[in-house]
Structure 1
């Protein structure tokens, strides 16, 4: 009989240990199977009066309660049975330990079910019991380390971030002392989550990425939860597409693990991502799916959060359509009451703010005013988008009260607060992405100032757009992991290229290369603070720097396109008509120029395409430039586009052929570039990357213009050599294929002999070159982010401190590029400024030389 008992204990113990490993790896179905097998083994013998058998049954029941909760929601029956079994044990260390074990599991499940107050009382008691047990030589340190993580969750929910971090530090200490790798990963990951809660997104993303690496090495099943929190941080940074990619990676893994709670949380986050990208139907679908899952699990708290995500989608659809269903405000108020009852402060505020906006759209100012007074004050952990929405509600109520001054004051305060959050950001795209949260506030301010003085409109346009370009880059930004990953990426690319040339399969190497590309982009999100913020340029500063030139800053509001024009120190507002029509003709011209680009186009076809381009340019000229001629006269121009107008080849518009035009992302960006110090040397770099054809690949013509230039070609055109000459150069002419990176502009790249030259690496230079000419690709065309933030390789160079960049807005043929560049550099060498030299070079063939001068000229 004794031998049977021992075999049963060993067998049950093996099942229970396997189940614990399965739970740590989020394989809950496997855990449930093992735990039921353990119970079956224990049922084969009588445990009455046997402390070891009773203790084993308690441990199995405790684990089973958690594993079952992941499938069917909180069910405390297993824990009730375990508690009854504990009462059969004699008072002593074993009973103490098991009591703590049951209390911690019951408390944790109550926390997961949204009953944090009850749960915390049990967790407090569990800590005392488990610590005492460890001191007396019984118990599992893994359980105590996990308990500190669970306590931190409750403190996070109460916005006690300091207390939560202290709990997580205790968990990390236990993990390191007892070599508990999985618990240590979770604790360090949650420390990153707290950084996310308080708005320190670079730190959060760094901690999450480190946790992801640890997961891949030690506990792959934990990875989807890390990806979920990475996505939350990316949403807070205004990067919904990048967040969605993380979530789409995580969801199938969680479904495979049958991790119901986390999978449903991913769906809620996917709803938020879709909504931030204006995909309202998709947001509504994800929110409803998540709500159903939480209801099935019995998680009332999270079901209400999912319902709130759905309400946000419904509200967005109603406001966009201009028709608010009569019952929708009442639905929002009822949900706010439910959220308040569940202790969800920020969520309560959000539901009330949605109700405020709905009532204002219905015209009920008093109802909106009453609801706004009920909105709880923001807490230290209140998300920045919630804070901006509160400002927007106050501003919209002021508009409804015909109080324009108060509305603008709310917009100003909100954007100042958003600027403070932006100043804490790391990578360039995080700085840019935060603009999305202030988009509606900025649009409201611009709309209000359209009715006022042009000067006020200029001030607001500068306040709301192209914020990345007002940061002074920090040249010492560096991260060894980025440098190491970039070097590995270049090595793998060379290996893949050599494999293809030798006829071998390069599939595996190409997959490794793609993974390294994704990693280097992610690393760039938190590598370091992007730079020191500079003040927005004043109208007086811009007017003084313009001299005899004129500045035209385009803006759109409610579908109307306008231009603020500064000339001779006078600011004027010119209304231009439909933004949609201008965008349509800009797209047509862009497509026409692309079609006209190939050198080998048959003459009859080229003539037809050219006629189309001439018509498109003439129509765009009539919409954008001719209404301004009476103001700008024959002056040189600085143009600040908006939206689709960034793709315009300004030198092809009839009124601007041969006229010097500089394109800038904002007046502030132009002013910073125009007043930048001169290059410390007269050094000229001529560099050519691999894979070029025709005359673009030749350097003889340019060597004749710049006989003293540093000429780097072929295998010598490596990243290191090009960077060393770029530092402090007056002029760099780079002919190389390139590629935009829409998810992180600093990692847009030019292909050199040994791999990609990232814009990030140019940003690290102590002395960025004065002018960079990108001769071979359409690298002026930028990815336009919310807030009119235009990024891409050329945009990243401007943000990195390069004052002038010359690049093409569309495809350009090899012959056209080569002849345009020779004409340009001859004029530059003769003493003309970049904008005038380029204008004269482009004027010789304005439809096949789509180059623009960016930054200053």
Structure 2
């Protein structure tokens, strides 16, 4: 009988250890199977009065409770059974340890069920028991380290970030003292989550990435959970597409692991991502799916959170359509009451704010006012998008009350608060993406000021657009990991290109390239701050710097297009018509110029396409420029586009042919570039990439214009050599094919002898060149994010401190580019400013020389 008892203990122990490893790997179904097998083995012998058998059964039941944590009822049943067994164990360290195990697991289940205070009392008692027996050499330090992680959850719920971090530090200390890799990974991951809650997104993303690497090395099954939290941080940074990629990677893995709680949380986050990306239908679908899953699991707390995600989608759809169902505000209020009962403070506030906006749209100001008074005050951990929504509710109520001044004050305070959050961001993508959270608040302010003074409209336009260009780039920060990964990415892309040319398979290389690109992007999010913030340029300072030049700043509101014009110190507002029509003709002109670009286009086809381009340019001229002529006369121009107008080739519009035009992302960006000090040297760089046609004679001609220039051609035009020569140059002319990356501007690229030169690398030069000429391809193009945050290769250079960039807005033939550039540099060398030199060069053939002067001229 004794041998049977020992055999059962060993067998049950093996099943329990197998379950434990499965739980750490989030394979809950495998854990439950192993634990039930352990109980079945224990059932084959009588455990009455046998302390070892009872101890094993208690441990198995506690583990089973954890693996059933997503169904709190089942878990609590297992703990009740375990607690009934404790009196069979003699008083002493062993019973005390088991009591601590039962209490800590019961506390954990109660916390997940929303009973945080009750759960915390049990966890306090469990800590006391487990610390006491651990000092006596009894118990598992792994359990105590995990207990501190669970305690941190309660502090997180209470918005006590200091308390939560203290608990997690204790867990990390135990993990390091006892070599507990997996617990240490979880604790460090949760420290990153607290940084995310506190708004320190670069730190959060860095901690999450470290946790992901540790998981890949020690526990690959945990990677999807890390990706989920990375996605949450990216949403807070206004990057819904990046967040969605993380979530779409995580979801199938979690479903395969049958980790239903985490998989449903991914769906809630996918709903938030879709909503931030203006995909209301997808948001509604994900939210409903998540709510059904939580309801099936009996998780009332998370079911309410999922219902809130669905309400956000319903509200967005109703407000966009302008039709609010009469029942929807009541649904929002009822959900707010449910969320309040569950102790979810920020979520309660959000539901009430949605109800406020719905009531305002229905015209019930008093109901909205009453609901707004019930919104809890923001806490230190309240997300920035919730704070912006509260400001928006207050502003919209003020508008409904006819109090324009109060509405603008709320908008001003909100955008100032958003600016503070932006200043904490790391990489350029995070700085740029944050603007999405202030989009509606900024639009409201612009809409209100359209009825006021033009100077006020200028001020609000500068507050709400192109904020990324307001930062003074920091000196180069050496980050060897980014440099190394970027070099690997360059090699991978080069190898893929060579394989493609030789007809060899490229799929594995393309997969490797995609992985390396994602890695560099992630590193860039938290490597270093992008720059130091600068204030908006005052209108009087801009007007003084303009001199005889005129500023035209376009804006749209409610589908209407307007222009703020500053000329001779006077500011005027000119209403232009439909933004949609202007955007349509801008797209037509862009397509026409692309079609006209090839050097070898047959003359009859070229003539037809040119006629289309002439018609498109003429119509755009009628919409955008001619109404301004009484104000701007024949002055040189600084143009600040909006939205789709960033793609316009201004030098092809009839009223602007031959006129110097500088395109800038904002008046502040232009003023910064125009008043920046000149380059410390007169060094000129001429660089030419591979695969340009043999008919191009640009290189020879430019060497005659700049006989003392650094000349990098053929195999000499490597990334390292070009970057070295760019640093501190007065003028850099780069003739190379390029590729505009619409979803990630920093990975737009120029093709050099040994592979691509990424915008990211040029943007980190410690001494940006005074002027960069990009002589081929459409590298003036920008991907325009909310807030008119326009970024592309040229935009990244401007943001990095290059005052002037010459680039094309559409495709350009090699021969057309070469002849245009020779004309340009001859005029530049003769002493013409960049904008005037370019205007005269483009005027020779405005439809096949689609170059613009960006920044300052």
Whether 2:49 is the aligned partner of 1:49: answer yes
Counterpart-to-counterpart distance in 2, 1:664 and 1:421: 25
What residue number does 2:595 align with?
A: 595
* SS of alignment partner, residue 424 of structure 2: coil
| CA shift for structure 1 position 506 | 4.3
Query: What's 1:227 paired with?
Result: 227
Q: CA deviation at 1:318?
A: 0.9
Partner of 2:629: 629
CA contact (8 A) 1:582 1:620 kept: yes
CA contact (8 A) 2:64 2:75 kept: no
Query: 1:97–1:139: 8 Å Cα contact kept in structure 2?
Result: yes
**Range 56-65 or range 566-575, more displaced:** 56-65
Q: Is the 8 A contact 2:733 2:775 kept in 1?
A: yes
Q: Report what 2:508 is aligned to.
A: 508
Q: Structure 1, residues 72-127: CA drift from partner, whole Å, max 9, x if none?
A: 87541111111111121111111111111111111111111222122111111111
Change (3 A) 1:574 1:500: closer
Matches of 2:210 and 2:696 in 1, distance apart?
Answer: 43
Q: Distance in 2 between matches of 1:256 and 1:850?
A: 52
Cα separation, 2, equivalents of 1:282 and 1:70: 26
Change (3 A) 1:741 1:170: farther
1:3 partnered with 2:10: no
Give the match's secondary structure for 1:552: strand
1:425 matched to which residue of 2? Answer: 425
What is the aligned partner in structure 1 of residue 130 from structure 2?
130
**Runs of 4+ in structure 1 displaced over 6 angstroms?**
none
1:619-676 Cα distance to aligned partner (Å, 9 max, x none): 0000000000010000000000000000000011000001010000000000000011
User: Is the CA contact (8 Å cut-off) linking 2:743 and 2:783 kept in structure 1?
Assistant: no
Residue 604 (structure 2) aligns with? 604
* 1:188-224 deviation digits (Å, cap 9, x = unpaired): 0110100000100111111111111111111111100
Distance 1:15 1:592, change over 3 A: same
The question of whether the paired residues in 1 share the 8 Å contact of 2:549 and 2:637 is answered with yes
- Check the 8 A contact 1:71/1:260 in 2, yes or no: no
Return the alpha-carbon distance in structure 2 between the equivalents of residues 498 and 627 of structure 1: 52
SS at match of 1:525: helix
Asked if structure 1 preserves the Cα contact closer than 8 Å seen for 2:71 and 2:298, the reply is: no
Task: Tell me the alpha carbon deviations over residues 112-168 of structure 1, each in whole angstroms, 9 at most, x when there is no partner.
Answer: 122212211111111111111211111111111111111111100100000000000
Partner SS, residue 555 of structure 2: strand
Partner of 1:121: 121
2:722 matched to which residue of 1? 722
User: Once the 2 structures are TM-superposed, how far is the Cα of residue 693 of structure 1 from its aligned partner?
Assistant: 2.7
Shift of 1:495: 4.3
Q: Give the match for residue 236 of structure 1.
A: 236
| 1:715–1:400 CA distance, 2 compared to 1 (3 A) | same
Change (3 A) 1:83 1:76: same
Deviation at residue 817 of structure 1 after TM alignment: 1.0
For residues 404 and 836 of structure 1, the distance between their equivalents in structure 2, rounded to whole angstroms, comes to 43
What is the rounded CA distance, in whole Å, between the counterparts of 2:297 and 2:417 in structure 1? 39
- TM-score, length-scaled by structure 2: 0.98
For the 8 Å contact 1:74–1:298, the answer to whether it is kept is no
Q: Could you say which residue in structure 2 is the equivalent of 1:356?
A: 356
Q: Indicate the residue corresponding to 1:295 in structure 2.
A: 295
- Counterpart Cα distance in 2 of 1:74 and 1:633: 79
Moved more, 723-732 or 115-124: 115-124
Question: Partner residue of 1:412?
Answer: 412
Specify the alignment match of 1:456 in structure 2. 456
Distance 1:823 1:766 in 2: 31
For residue 144 of structure 1, what is the aligned residue in structure 2? 144
SS in 1 for 2:526: coil
- Distance in 2 (alpha carbons) for counterparts of 1:500 and 1:579: 43
Q: Deviations 1:468-517 (Å, cap 9, x if unpaired)?
A: 00100002333221112112223334444555566654443332222111
1:336 counterpart residue number = 336
* Structure 2 partner of 1:260: 260
CA distance in 1, matches of 2:743, 2:196: 20
Structure 1, unpaired ranges of 5+: none
The correspondence of residues 278-289 of structure 1 with structure 2, limited to 5 A, is 278-289=278-289
Q: Is the 8 A contact 1:734 1:772 kept in 2?
A: yes
Q: State whether residues 816 and 848 of structure 1, in contact with CA within 8 Å, keep that contact through their aligned partners in structure 2.
A: yes
Normalised by the length of structure 1, the TM-score is: 0.98
Look up the match of 1:675.
675
What CA distance in whole angstroms lies between the structure 2 residues aligned with 1:444 and 1:558? Answer: 10
Q: Is the 8 A contact 1:71 1:259 kept in 2?
A: no
Using a 3 Å threshold, how does the CA distance of structure 1 residues 643 and 500 change in structure 2: closer, same or farther? closer
Paired with 1:574 and 1:531, the residues of 2 have a C-alpha distance of: 35
Residue matched to 1:484: 484
CA offsets 1:691-717 (integer angstroms, 9 cap, x no match): 333445862121121111101122222
State the distance in 1 between where 2:263 and 2:743 align: 25
Gaps of 5+ in 2: none
Say whether residues 1:666 and 2:652 are aligned partners: no
1:563 corresponds to: 563
Tell me what 1:168 maps to: 168
Change (3 A) 1:392 1:806: same
Deviation at 1:423, TM superposition (A): 0.7
Q: Which secondary structure does the structure 1 equivalent of 2:854 belong to?
A: strand
Contact 1:71–1:258 (CA under 8 A) maintained in structure 2 = no
1:710 is aligned to 2:732:
no
Deviations 1:160-180 (A, max 9, x none): 000000000011111111111
Q: Distance in 2 between matches of 1:148 and 1:812?
A: 62
3-state SS, counterpart of residue 638 of structure 1? strand
Question: Cα offset for 1:63?
Answer: 1.1
Distance 2:742 2:102 in 1: 50
Is this contact kept in 2: 1:478–1:527, CA < 8 A? no
Deviation at 1:761, TM superposition (A): 2.1
